Amino acid sequence: MFRLDQVSKTFQHALALDRISLEVAPGKTTVLIGPSGCGKSTLLRLLIGLIKPDQGTVFFDGFALDAATIPAIRRRLGYVIQQGGLFPHLTARQNVTVMADYHGWEAGRIDARIAELAGLTHFPADALDRYPGELSGGQNQRIALMRALFLDPDVLLLDEPLGALDPMIRYELQQDLRQVFGTLGKTVVMVTHDLAEAAYFGHAIVLMRDGRIAQRGTLQDMMSSPADEFVGRFIRAQRDHLSVPGAAT
């Protein structure tokens, strides 16, 4: 679905991505993981064309991302930024429908789509007219997900969608999210810093370090044959949390 060919990105003094080559399989969930600052969010922002690589090319469905192709490609991508990015002055419903309003959808079609997505994401319909500040963290993440799904994109890009949630809410939302991904068969690229979560969602896990890919594969691959000393250390540091049942198959 995506192919990155030797992609690099530098910010002022920071080399955020260093000659990344990567393929993202369609219909599967690819998880980006690694220490804070290793380039996960930058990689996601490159995939949606919000930033341009200094070197190398990002391809989506065979097309190189550039000024000419990005508008059409964006319509096929749903994106949830780190922290959710909801508009605080809009209600949940208004947040969810911004893109549909922009495209001039009729009210009836919008209502039907909201009902469908609220069911899919287990969002309580009677809370749709509340503002983000009046909803729980988990509910806000469901809203962010509904907004990203509204126009039925082929691809979902999610930047730490469960990062700020307390453990029980997070557990519930993990289960719901994986069910949504499975039901819809979307291509998903998701960022997390939690290895158990990566294993739970990821058909492929991409472990990054300092703007490079340290290892790509399954958690089992990384545990049985770590590519280098860093991979082994990263896994050992999280071993106490590696008890989530039912990794993605």
CB 59 within 8 A of CB 53: no
Partner from ligand ADP, Mg ion, none binding residue 38, C-beta < 5-8 Å depending on class: ligand ADP
162 binds ligand ADP (CB under 6 A): no
Rank residues 36 and 249 by Cβ distance to Mg ion and give the closer one.
36
CB-based contacts of 114, cutoff 8 Å, min separation 6: 93, 96, 97, 128, 146
Rank residues 8 and 41 by Cβ distance to Mg ion and give the closer one.
41
Closest distance of CB 159 from Mg ion, Å: 6
DSSP 65: P
Rounded Cα–Cα distance for residues 179 and 120 (Å): 9
Rank residues 94 and 238 by Cβ distance to ligand ADP and give the closer one.
238
Rank residues 34 and 84 by Cβ distance to ligand ADP and give the closer one.
34
CB 165 within 8 A of CB 197: no
41 binds Mg ion (CB under 5 A): yes
217 binds ligand ADP (CB under 6 A): no
Closest distance of CB 182 from ligand ADP, Å: 26
DSSP 23: E
CB atoms < 10 A from the CB of 85, how many?
Answer: 14
Closest distance of CB 164 from Mg ion, Å: 12
238 binds Mg ion (CB under 5 A): no
Rounded Cα–Cα distance for residues 97 and 133 (Å): 18
Sole binder of ligand ADP in the list 7, 16, 33, 196 (CB under 6 A): 16
Rank residues 45 and 142 by Cβ distance to ligand ADP and give the closer one.
45
37 binds ligand ADP (CB under 6 A): yes
42 binds ligand ADP (CB under 6 A): yes
**What per-residue string of b and e applies to 5-40 under the rule 16 or more CB within 10 Å gives b?**
bebebeeeeeebbbebebebeeebbbbbbbeeebbb
- In terms of DSSP bridges, do strands 55-60 and 2-11 run parallel, antiparallel, or are they unpaired? antiparallel
Partner from Mg ion, ligand ADP, none binding residue 218, C-beta < 5-8 Å depending on class: none
Q: Which residues bind ligand ADP (CB under 6 A)?
A: 11-12, 14, 16, 34, 36-42
